[in-house]
Amino acid sequence: MRIDVVTIFPDMFREVFDFGIVRRAREAGVVEVHVHDLRSWARDRHRTTDDAPYGGGPGMVMKVEPLVMACEAIAEMSDGSPRLVLLSPRGAPLNQAKVRELSEEDHLVLVAGRYEGVDERFVEISGAEEISIGDYVLSGGEIPAMVVIDAVVRLLPGAISDPQSADEDSFSHGVLDYPHYTRPADFRGSRVPEVLLSGDHAAVREWRRSRALEDTRSRRPELLRERP
Ligand code: 9D3
């Protein structure tokens, strides 16, 4: 998979791709990530990428021209038309089903917004799909873009040494994960549930299944109601 990011803060991305699964996936040739400075497509002397909103109001709006130019240039870097995503608080909330869908693409272009928002004509002209990572206010789309990359890359074939762990996760089955324990069996009198020490694999499986359901019911009941 190829992933391109368009941002006015390319430096925010440098480090995050150098650790963990994303790094391993890059080294294995499973994914190629390119980060672009939107300012390279700003044509005026000050390389302006934002301007005041028509109709008034607070803050600034990202200009349509550099965004469209950037996406057109990036589309030409690969054959076919990439899947274009704008990270936006107005977007559809990200979930694991969407992550899985994105992970099946050959080429993703992620556009990180800043300021109050992006000129709506960019969305119309480019056909970008708007995605939010949740109902809280961040200062831009860069961290959401990193979230999408992290979630997508770990699903790519070859990114994780044990592919079972990718699909046994929370949300893949619509319930939370079961709780985990490791040594010591007794820490300050707090003991690991006896069944996990028993060696009875069927009993362990049943305990995990029931704790996962129980915890989902008490913490995230809406996951059970939304189950497909
Ligand atoms: C009062 C209007 N604000 C909308 C909630 C303006 C506004 C706040 C923050 C406009 C843009 C932003 C920057 N945020 C993002 O670009 C963003 C985001 C987010 O803030 N939360 C969750 N997901 C995302 S994806 C992009």
2-153 with 168-226: one CATH topology? no
Rounded to the nearest angstrom, the gap between the alpha carbon of residue 82 and the centroid of all alpha carbons in its chain is 17
25 Cα–ligand 1 center, Å: 29
pLDDT, one tens digit for every residue, the chain (228 residues):
999 999 999 999 989 999 999 999 999 999 999 999 999 999 999 999 999 999 999 999 999 999 999 999 999 998 879 999 999 999 999 999 999 999 999 999 999 998 899 999 999 999 999 999 999 999 999 999 999 999 999 999 999 877 677 665 667 679 999 999 999 999 999 999 999 999 999 999 999 999 999 999 999 999 999 866
Tell whether domain 168-226 is in CATH 1.10.1270.20: yes
Q: Each residue of 63-78: pLDDT tens digit?
A: 999 999 999 999 999 8
**Ligand 1 binding site (Cβ under 6 Å of any ligand atom):** 87-89, 113, 116-117, 132-134, 136-141, 144
Which of these, 144, 130, 131, 77, lies nearest to 106 by C-alpha position?
77
Question: Pocket of ligand 1, candidates 85, 138, 142: which has the most ligand atoms within 8 Å of its Cβ, to mutate?
Answer: 138
Distance CA 193, CA 208 (A): 11
Whether residue 124 lies in the annotated active site: no
- Select the CATH number that applies to the domain covering 2-153 from these four: 3.40.1280.10, 3.40.50.880, 3.30.450.20, 3.40.50.300: 3.40.1280.10
The pLDDT, as a whole number, for residue 189 is 98
Pairing, β 186-187 against β 190-191 = antiparallel
Give the Å distances, CA to CA, from 107 to 2, 33, 104, 184, 202.
5, 10, 9, 45, 42
Catalytic residue among 37, 116, 130, 177: 116
Whether residue 89 lies in the annotated active site: yes
Strand order, beta sheet including 117-118: 50-51, 61-62, 117-118
In the numeric block, which tokens belong to residue 197? 């020490």
| Phi and psi, residue 65, nearest 5° | -65, -55
85 strand-pairing partners: 110, 129
Distance CA 43, CA 54 (A): 21
Which of these, 81, 108, 118, 111, lies nearest to 10 by C-alpha position?
111
Give domain limits for the chain.
Answer: 2-153, 168-226
Atom of ligand 1 nearest to the CA of 144: 25
The alpha-helical segments, DSSP class H, found in the chain are 20-27, 64-77, 96-103, 120-126, 142-153, 163-167, 201-219, 221-226
The pLDDT, as a whole number, for residue 119 is 98
Do 109 and 74 form a contact (C-beta atoms < 8 A)?
yes
Global pTM value:
0.96
The pLDDT, as a whole number, for residue 165 is 73
Distance CA 203, CA 212 (A): 14
